[in-house]
Structure 1
Amino acid sequence: MSTVTDQHAVASRPAAANRSALAAGSMRRPTTRTVAAVAAGFAAVTALGACGGGGSPTAATSAVKTSLDPAAAAEQDAAFATAMFDHRHQALQLVGLVAQYGQSTDVVTFASTLQRSYDTQMRDLEGLLTEWGKPVPHVEGHSDLGDEIPGLLTAPELEKLRAASPADFEKQFLTVLAAHEKRATAMAQKELRLGADPQATAYAQDVLQQTTSHLAEVDGLLKARG
């Protein structure tokens, strides 16, 4: 009997460890990275691969660039970085719920991976905004979810997510996350059409790559849950 108990304890460790990491990470405030580090990270970005399904991020890579005057393009770059910073903060709040309500190792591990990705993106965006002399959106940390996530969840929807059973919570979380990632895709596609700053447009391309990967992972997790 003790052998079965020991095996169960070992199997539970990855999910428990990732939940602890999510809980600890949810209180971190992103710090500024140097623009040089941001640029180095973006230099490794490759062309977005093909993605099945209608409305996929792949379409953005072949989108016709819209000509704008320099001032309008610069305004678009700043607006994109500011909006994406807020968007990724909202995403961090969302994945932070998994630390409280997630049960399955695959979902908890995925959420932990997303947390690291989003946290890095926020630091990169903070570096860009600081370099441009633009204000960085103020956030109080990732525990301030409040009554709703603007543009993503209403207060009743959030309460439904919190009150769901473990199995239902994970399905709802994955469904909401997919919608959130698709919104990031639309924001990045707009930046590629209208933006001009090389770092901002490279970041947008990186977002498209990551959302493609995230959406594929979400699709697999949802299929595994019927």
Structure 2
Amino acid sequence: MRAFKNPAARKVALAGSVAALGLLLSACGSDGDSMSGMDHGGKTSASASPSPSTSASFNDADVTFAQGMIPHHQQALEMAKLADGRAEDSEVKKIVAAIEKAQDPEIGTMKSWLKSWGKPESAGQGGHGGHGTAAGMMSDQDMKDLRSLKGKAFDRKFAELMIAHHEGAVEMARTEQKDGSDATAKKLADDVVRTQSAEIAELRKILDRL
């Protein structure tokens, strides 16, 4: 009897081991599958995450800002050039120099953004980015009137027109601060708001004493 039970017991034990091993392998297999699935998901999300940030470094507001501010700055430089031989007030001359120093390089910067973004420098046929007088752009008549003046009359007219011009630039820059996406463009918008708001205050002081 003892010799009979031992082989049976051995078979039962062996069968139990095989079953247990099967369950263990099955469990490991499912764990491995789930983990590999998790790893795959992790890799997919990791590789997908940089894509939106690089492709969305700029948006339509950034493009509109650059396209509108380029001709705006260009007109400010045209106004500043008219001061040569016409302006009399030392404070007006100081603001003219500040405008030329700041805005000329900013035009080059914004042109380089648009080129890197694959966008044209001008949004419209007229080249003013569709902003026109709403952003403080001077009319041809305004520029003609300014060109015809000298001395204190020029200083007064220049201050009046540049206040309106700067207010337009600040308005455009505040829109960029609110709606823009590109960090560099938003930084330039911050600079425009800060510097041109200060120049507006100075120009108003000049008008008060002229």
TM-score normalised per structure 2: 0.62
- Cα deviation, 1:123-159, whole Å, max 9, x if unaligned, reads 221222222222335xxxxxxxxxxxx5333333333
Alpha-carbon deviation of 1:221? Answer: 1.6
Aligned to 1:222: 207
Which of 156, 165, 179 does residue 180 from structure 1 map onto? 165
Instruction: Please report the RMSD computed on the Cα atoms of aligned residues, expressed in angstroms.
Output: 2.0
Which of 82, 87, 91 does residue 97 from structure 1 map onto? 82
Q: What is the identity percentage for the equivalent residue pairs of Structure 1 and Structure 2?
A: 25
Alignment of 1:1-226 (within 5 A): 74-137=59-122, 151=133, 152-225=137-210
Aligned letter for 2:143?
L
CA distance in 1 between counterparts of 2:80 and 2:204 reads 16
Task: Extract unaligned runs of 5+ from structure 1.
Answer: 1-69, 138-149
- Cα deviation, 1:61-119, whole Å, max 9, x if unaligned, reads xxxxxxxxx97x71111111111111101111111110131122222222112111111
Q: Between Structure 1 and Structure 2, how many residues are aligned?
A: 143
Aligned letter for 1:190?
T
CA distance in 2 between counterparts of 1:154 and 1:126 reads 24
Between Structure 1 and Structure 2, whose CA radius of gyration is higher?
2
Runs of 4+ in 1 over 4 A off after TM superposition: none
CA distance in 2 between counterparts of 1:131 and 1:220 reads 41
